Structure 1
């Protein structure tokens, strides 16, 4: 059964719900990126493996979790409660069945507040650039995704910031991988707070900057 990498930075309020929603047999790896709210302790108490990642950055946490995984198939999911881990089989099953090499969860908002307008516009623009760059007809660079561990490590991903998810897709496309997209729910994150990545204009700008750097390399 798959391992699930959960990059984490101060998600104490969300972790009990997130970890409690994992499908049977799925193993959680919480890659903690310097939380100060007790997230690592909460995760460990709830049975998750905890990896402490001193290097700041979403990509640093995600990749450290990937390296720590032991299962053949590895999933990635946000730890903020915006995505339902119970839907992880949607991205994992095609990989487990050998029908796809990388599966991305296309976010479908369950409420208008889940995806601010500035983030939607940025995502649409990125999707268009990604299609031209890779030839893949993708609609979203979804953070819920799945692939085979050894193959993912073999891509040699180097970005350790917000460009990591994009680099994974572009590298997979360059390697001729079968990349698929499936729908997953996207809700307001735990506590009604905004995403650290796209919840604010500044966060979106930082993400665009990091992803532009990936595209220009």
Structure 2
């Protein structure tokens, strides 16, 4: 690991023009690159993200995982590779400043991957819908009893050693991205832990919990992924 460590942030974003500048502005200064994967937005997400200081890559195929993979491809092309990569949503529901707590277990050489757990932190009233809360509980319970993986959340705010992430060979292109990473990390024997993170109401309407199609689509894919790697 470099001294000081090189940290890059990946933010998949679809129509987040109102929130993305706030997210970028709150990312701690220790971060080298903030890579926003503009996931075929129909608004000015890409332009405002670039104006706020982010590196913007465009991914025309919609999908959370697909956007993350495209951002990873951009990082792979950099002459100097990062030590740690942090994933963060672009809707301003996470607190980017919590990144410092998120990466600490990795800096202390106690973990290879850290999940920011909303279940352990403080959530603003109304920030998570009932389907989200129940879905997280169901998925983490299934992971515990079917695979022995101990997590309290599938939260998108997470940090992982870059080389370890590459070894996981991530492939999911949509809703199964977060749980695929956690299952693969567990099966690969990575050291993982969770830290409490705070969570607030997002800016705008959620593409997942904000629609019936999104809720059922995400739920199906998460359960499918659990059985896929069982």
Following superposition, the deviation at residue 68 of structure 1 comes to 2.1
User: Which one of 210, 213, 218 corresponds to residue 202 of structure 1?
Assistant: 213
Query: Which deviates more, 15-24 or 194-203?
Result: 194-203
Query: What is the TM-score with the length of structure 1 in the denominator?
Result: 0.94
1:205 aligned counterpart, secondary structure: helix
3-state SS of paired residue (2:97) = helix
2:139–2:223: 8 Å Cα contact kept in structure 1?
Answer: no
User: 1:154: how far off?
Assistant: 1.2
> Quick check: 1:105 aligned with 2:116?
yes
Alignment RMSD? 1.4
Contact 1:2–1:74 at 8 Å: present in 2 too?
yes
Per-residue CA deviation, residues 93-133 of structure 1 (Å, 9 max, x unaligned), is 21233210110000134322101112111111111011123
CA distance in 1 between partners of 2:174 and 2:158 (Å): 17
Q: Does 1:151 align with 2:151?
A: no
Could you say which residue in structure 1 is the equivalent of 2:78?
A: none
Counterpart of 1:37?
A: 43
Report the 3-state secondary structure (helix = DSSP H, G, I; strand = E; otherwise coil) of the residue aligned with 1:151.
helix
Find out whether 1:178 has 2:184 as its counterpart.
Answer: no
SS of 1:82's equivalent in the other structure is coil
**Corresponding residue to 1:114 among 127, 135, 144:** 127
The alignment status of 1:46 with 2:52, answered yes or no, reads yes
1:139-159 CA deviation, whole Å, 9 max, x = no partner?
101100011112111111111
| Contact 1:6 1:76 survives alignment (8 Å) | yes
* 1:216 alignment partner in structure 2: 227
Establish whether residue 138 from structure 1 lines up as the match of residue 143 from structure 2: no
Runs of 5+ in structure 2 lacking a partner? 1-5, 76-80
Partner of 2:30: 25
In structure 2, the CA distance between the partners of 1:67 and 1:148, relative to structure 1 (3 Å rule), is farther
Q: Provide the secondary structure at the position in 1 that maps to 2:10.
A: strand
CA contact (8 A) 2:149 2:183 kept: no
* Equivalent position SS for 1:25: coil
Aligned length: 215
1:165 to 178, 181, 205: 178
In the alignment, structure 1 segments of 5+ residues that lack a partner are none
Written as runs of structure 1 = structure 2, the 5 A alignment for 1:51-70 is 51-69=57-75, 70=81
Residue 16 (structure 2) aligns with? 11
Distance 2:122 2:40 in 1: 29
What is the rounded CA distance, in whole Å, between the counterparts of 2:105 and 2:43 in structure 1?
36
Q: TM-score, normalised by structure 2?
A: 0.89
